[in-house]
C-alpha cells in the first residue's frame, strides 16, 4: 500500500465518521411546543406526586411514634 492509497483510505474513514455524526443529529420526529408542554406537565405531576408521598410517609412515621 502506497502513500497515496493510505491518504485515500484515511480520507474515506474521516468521511464515514463525519457522515455518521450528521445522521445522528438529524431527528426523525420533530419536537413540537405541545410535546414540550406535555413534558413540563409530566414534571409537575411528578413533583406533586413526590410531595404527596412525602406527606404520607411523614404521617405514617408520626402514627408509629405515637
Is residue 20 assigned to a domain? no
Helix (H, G, I), strand (E, B) or coil at 17: helix
Domain region containing 58? 32-66
61 located within any domain: yes
Q: What is the tens place of the pLDDT at every residue in 14-58?
A: 777 666 555 556 778 888 999 999 999 998 999 999 999 999 999
If one counts the domains in the chain, the total is 1
Report pTM: 0.48
Tell me if 41 is assigned to some domain.
yes
- The DSSP secondary structure of 18-51, one letter per residue, reads HHHHHHHHS-SS---HHHHHHHHHHHHHHHHHHH
Cell of 12: 474515506
Confirm whether 16 is domain-assigned: no
Is 12 contained in some domain? Answer: no
The answer to whether residue 39 sits within a structural domain is yes
* CA 54 to each of CA 21, 63, 66: distance values in angstroms, whole numbers, following the listed order: 44, 14, 19
Amino acid at each position: 500500500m502506497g502513500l497515496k492509497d493510505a491518504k485515500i483510505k484515511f480520507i474515506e474513514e474521516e468521511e464515514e465518521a463525519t457522515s455518521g455524526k450528521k445522521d445522528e443529529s438529524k431527528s426523525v420526529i420533530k419536537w413540537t411546543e405541545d410535546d414540550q408542554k406535555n413534558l413540563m406537565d409530566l414534571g409537575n405531576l411528578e413533583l406533586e406526586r413526590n410531595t404527596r408521598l412525602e406527606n404520607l410517609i411523614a404521617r405514617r412515621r408520626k402514627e408509629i411514634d405515637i
